Amino acid sequence: MRIVLSVLTVLAVAGSSSTWQDRLSLEIDVPGEVSRYQPVMLWYSIRNDSTASQTINLGFNRIGSFTFVLERPDGSVQKSTPDYPPRDWGGRSPVLTLAPGESYRQYIALNEWLRFDEVGAYSLRIELTGQAASALSIVGDGTRQVWIRPVNPGQIEARCKALLSSLVPITRFDTDFAAAVAELAWTRHPVAVPYLEAAIAAEVNPSLFDALVEIGTAEARNAVVRLTRHPTPWVANGAKNALSRFGGGKSTAHP
């Protein structure tokens, strides 16, 4: 089940020349519920329905103008604004230009910025800042809930299998491919281990090593050991680095 997440926005900054009529249309979509240890993947889309090209600055990696405000099941509130540079890649240019009738869509793995580590209902609100606050027209308004359900290994494994099928063999490097990589990388249950290993062995993306380290089980460690013998240097070297990061404590994910 997916729902449209309405967004509460910050009003236009003083002195802006933008009017409601020439704002770009913004729609945001998140899952209504996921199993614990699955990531919450947000998609946003921006559409230019005007008759002229429109340019907007969305900040760091085109998400820096988003501030996430999350009320957790225990009533505590977490607030986060993406603002640090990517570790392994250059990121997206903050400036987006859309021709008349053109649209743009992008994913955000919310677990990178927010904690969804308890079962229960989470209330998510997004505030827009900078030029985005005055240049975007939100489709709907308000706050929506995301339910984190008790862990469902069968559901998680089925999703991992589907993600692996969409990634291997590698046929493109588009937004959907990158989103599938991120979703698999933020799946932190032990049933994901063989799918993470298979994706890394197929040379999909080194970020998947992080998931194996975070899962931290003996099976995850064994998968990394096997990958140290991979014929491709970046895979073997990445596995050796990941192996050095395994600690002696408990896994972060439990059945």
Please tell me whether the peptide bond between 190 and the residue prior to it is cis, using omega within 30 degrees of 0: no
Four-residue CA torsion sign, 128, 133, 137, 142: positive
Instruction: Return all residues near 115 (Cβ < 8 A) that are at least 6 apart.
Output: 70, 72, 78
Name the packing angle between helices 233-244 and 218-227 (round to 10°). 150
Tell whether the model's pLDDT for residue 141 goes beyond 80. Answer: no
Tell whether the model's pLDDT for residue 9 goes beyond 50. Answer: no
Q: pLDDT at position 6, please?
A: 40
Q: What mean pLDDT comes out for the span 219-227?
A: 98
Backbone angles phi, psi at 48, to 5 degrees: -100, 105
Task: Name the most confidently modeled range: 13-17, 104-108, 132-136.
Answer: 104-108
Stronger pLDDT, 7 or 71, i.e. the higher one:
71
Side-chain half-sphere CA neighbours of 214 within 13 A? 15
Question: Percent of the chain having pLDDT more than 90?
Answer: 70
Q: What mean pLDDT comes out for the span 182-210?
A: 97
Q: What is the pLDDT of residues 74-130, one digit of tens each?
A: 999 999 998 876 555 557 889 999 999 999 999 999 999 999 999 999 999 888 988
pLDDT confidence of 20, banded at 50, 70, 90? very low
pTM: 0.85
Tell whether the model's pLDDT for residue 252 goes beyond 80. Answer: no
Q: pLDDT at position 78, please?
A: 96
Question: Percent of the chain having pLDDT more than 70?
Answer: 85
Q: pLDDT at position 83, please?
A: 81
Q: What is the pLDDT of residues 124-133, one digit of tens each?
A: 988 898 899 9
Cα–chain-centroid distance for residue 238?
22
Q: pLDDT at position 140, please?
A: 73
Tell whether the model's pLDDT for residue 144 goes beyond 50. Answer: yes
Stronger pLDDT, 19 or 77, i.e. the higher one:
77
Closest CA to 165 of 188, 199, 189, 190: 199
E runs forming strands in the chain: 2-4, 24-31, 33-35, 41-47, 54-57, 66-71, 77-80, 95-98, 103-109, 120-128, 136-138, 144-149
SS3 107: strand
Q: pLDDT at position 248, please?
A: 55
